[in-house]
């Protein structure tokens, strides 16, 4: 007698499971062999994956009231986007136009724009409006296949506004699919330009303890960069975060190489993100530790940079790389994971299958959810993307259109 399931996905021409290889995130050559079945099926029960196998195997063992016929379709794990700033309220297309005409991101920031401009706009926007923006952005990400997403604060830059951003991010959560990060140290706000130490004290002595006490975030992040927060300041903030039970993520080595990857490893950060300018010593340090290297090639692209993170050297060295959109109104205005795959292939030199593994299984480890999401395997959350293309290579190759025909989230068909 076949077992009852809630939903079956059958006849997938390719089922990218991301379930093969050794424990943990995939490194080196394993990244290009994450696991793939042909003419495959999945049985889903109670929001979880019950079984994975050939279509014949699944149809003999399971019956279900609903079936998705994935004939001619590649099926992938739901995407995990482990680095976004998607609660921002208002956009910055004015700065985009200036950049089109040749101004750089740094010049705009130095003149008072950039993150500080977003912060002014954020504080001038109502809660309802910010919530509507964040919901719409998260919904679009889901419709493009992103089932799990990390969201940072960082446009409030005062206690009440930072708490508001994290509360709004929490309201988007549909059962553990939003991971929150406190990024009060995103920039020194206008009121503290002449006394940055006072702002750092505010972050350490008031913001971090309140965020932690209210359970509003799992991680604390710092934008460690020339002209933003120094290594010494980053250490101070991370010490306060740890004392309050928060884990660490860091924006490092984005615009100038400042030994940020080495610092992230020393601080036992869960992830070190950006890494366009990572040093040889940074690569060596990251190759032998659990810190995930989250690469954000959409940002290099959107800032018109010639420099992308040295992904091939990092993979060869044994670093665990993941991908993220960095969705934010300044340096990467896109929540689309499929565009990111294309940019990762072209800009970082990843094979399509490597990019997919980096945006699913490995990305899950960047938010400590590697045993929960990012794979199509028994026991994992039933998050998957049924594409309208017959093989996974077509996904980054045919770019600029949405290939997510059906998105399954917690076992429910959402799109």
Q: Give residues in contact with ligand NIG (CB under 6 A).
A: 85, 114-115, 118, 223, 251, 254, 299, 326, 328-331
Rounded distance, CA 158 to CA 340, Å? 32
Residue 415 and residue 143 in contact, taking contact as beta carbons nearer than 8 Å: yes
Query: Given the rule CB under 5 A, which of 171-179, 227-235, 319-327, 403-411 is the region that contacts Fe ion?
Result: 319-327
Comparing every residue's Cβ against Fe ion, the nearest one is: 326
Indicate the residue among 92 and 403 with the shorter CB distance to ligand NIG.
92
Min separation Cβ 103 and ligand NIG, Å: 14
211-to-31, 135, 201, 236 alpha-carbon distances in Å: 36, 22, 15, 17
Indicate the residue among 158 and 187 with the shorter CB distance to Fe ion.
187
Query: Given the rule CB under 5 A, which of 162-170, 321-329, 385-393, 394-402 is the region that contacts Fe ion?
Result: 321-329
Enumerate residues 6+ apart whose C-beta is below 8 A from 102.
none
406 binds, among ligand NIG, Fe ion, none (CB under 5 to 8 A by kind): none
Min separation Cβ 303 and ligand NIG, Å: 8
233 binds, among ligand NIG, Fe ion, none (CB under 5 to 8 A by kind): none
Query: Given the rule CB under 5 A, which of 56-64, 192-200, 322-330, 359-367 is the region that contacts Fe ion?
Result: 322-330
Rounded distance, CA 332 to CA 353, Å? 23
224 has which bridge partners?
Answer: 229
Min separation Cβ 83 and ligand NIG, Å: 7
Comparing every residue's Cβ against ligand NIG, the nearest one is: 330
Neighbours of 123 (CB within 10 A): 16
Min separation Cβ 109 and ligand NIG, Å: 8
Indicate the residue among 41 and 114 with the shorter CB distance to ligand NIG.
114
Indicate the residue among 17 and 118 with the shorter CB distance to Fe ion.
118
Indicate the residue among 259 and 330 with the shorter CB distance to ligand NIG.
330
- Length in residues, the chain: 415
169-to-36, 84, 120, 177 alpha-carbon distances in Å: 34, 11, 19, 11
Min separation Cβ 47 and Fe ion, Å: 30
Residue 8 and residue 66 in contact, taking contact as beta carbons nearer than 8 Å: yes
Query: Given the rule CB under 5 A, which of 12-20, 29-37, 68-76, 324-332 is the region that contacts Fe ion?
Result: 324-332
Nearest to 348 by CA among 274, 414, 401: 274
Q: How far apart are the first and last CA of the chain?
A: 32
Positions of E strands within 262-361: 271-274, 292-295, 321-323
Min separation Cβ 396 and ligand NIG, Å: 22
CA 290 to chain centre: 17
Cα torsion angle, 7, 142, 83, 390, sign = positive
Please write down the HEC assignment for all residues of 271-291: EEEECCCCCHHHHHHHHCCCC
Indicate the residue among 177 and 326 with the shorter CB distance to Fe ion.
326
223 binds, among Fe ion, ligand NIG, none (CB under 5 to 8 A by kind): ligand NIG
Min separation Cβ 88 and ligand NIG, Å: 7
35 binds, among ligand NIG, Fe ion, none (CB under 5 to 8 A by kind): none
Min separation Cβ 330 and ligand NIG, Å: 2
Decide: residue 65, CB within 10 A, 0-12 exposed, 13-18 middle, 19+ buried.
Answer: exposed
Q: Does 326 bind Fe ion (CB under 5 A)?
A: yes
Indicate the residue among 158 and 326 with the shorter CB distance to Fe ion.
326
Rounded distance, CA 279 to CA 281, Å? 5
386 has which bridge partners?
Answer: 75, 406
Min separation Cβ 66 and Fe ion, Å: 38
- Chain residues in the site for Fe ion (CB under 5 A): 326
């Amino acid at each position: 007698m076949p077992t009852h399931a809630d939903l079956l996905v059958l006849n997938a021409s390719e089922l990218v499971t991301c379930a093969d290889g050794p424990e943990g995130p995939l490194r080196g050559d394993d990244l290009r062999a994450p696991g793939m079945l042909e003419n495959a099926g999945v049985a889903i029960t109670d929001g979880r994956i019950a079984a994975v196998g050939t279509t014949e195997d699944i149809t003999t063992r399971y019956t279900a009231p609903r079936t998705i016929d994935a004939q001619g379709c590649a099926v992938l794990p739901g995407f995990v986007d482990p680095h976004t700033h998607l609660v921002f309220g208002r956009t910055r297309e004015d700065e985009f136009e200036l950049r089109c005409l040749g101004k750089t991101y740094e010049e705009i920031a130095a003149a008072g724009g950039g993150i500080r401009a977003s912060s002014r706009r954020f504080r001038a926007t109502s809660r309802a409006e910010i919530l509507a923006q964040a919901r719409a952005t998260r919904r679009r990400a889901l419709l493009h296949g992103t089932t799990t997403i990390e969201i940072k604060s960082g446009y409030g830059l005062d206690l009440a506004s930072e708490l508001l951003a994290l509360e709004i991010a929490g309201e988007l959560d549909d059962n553990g699919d939003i991971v929150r990060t406190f990024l009060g140290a995103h920039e020194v706000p206008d009121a503290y330009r002449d006394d940055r130490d006072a702002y750092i004290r505010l972050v350490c002595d008031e913001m971090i303890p309140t965020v932690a006490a209210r359970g509003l975030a799992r991680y604390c992040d710092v934008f460690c960069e020339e002209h933003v927060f120094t290594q010494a300041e980053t250490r101070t903030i991370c010490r306060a975060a740890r004392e309050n039970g928060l884990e660490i993520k860091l924006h490092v080595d984005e615009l100038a190489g400042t030994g940020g990857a080495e610092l992230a490893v020393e601080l036992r950060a869960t992830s070190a993100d950006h890494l366009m300018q990572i040093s040889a010593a940074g690569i060596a340090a990251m190759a032998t530790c659990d810190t995930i290297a989250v690469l954000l090639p959409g940002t290099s692209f959107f800032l018109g940079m010639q420099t992308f993170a040295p992904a091939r050297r990092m993979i060869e060295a044994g670093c665990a790389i993941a991908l993220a959109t960095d969705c934010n109104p300044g340096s990467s205005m896109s929540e689309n994971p499929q565009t990111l795959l294309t940019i990762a292939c072209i800009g970082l030199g990843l094979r399509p299958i490597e990019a997919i593994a980096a945006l699913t299984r490995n990305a899950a480890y960047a938010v400590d959810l590697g045993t929960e999401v990012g794979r199509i395997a028994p026991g994992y959350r039933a998050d998957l993307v049924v594409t309208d293309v017959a093989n996974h290579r077509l996904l980054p190759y045919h770019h600029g259109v949405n290939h997510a025909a059906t998105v399954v989230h917690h076992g429910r068909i959402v799109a």
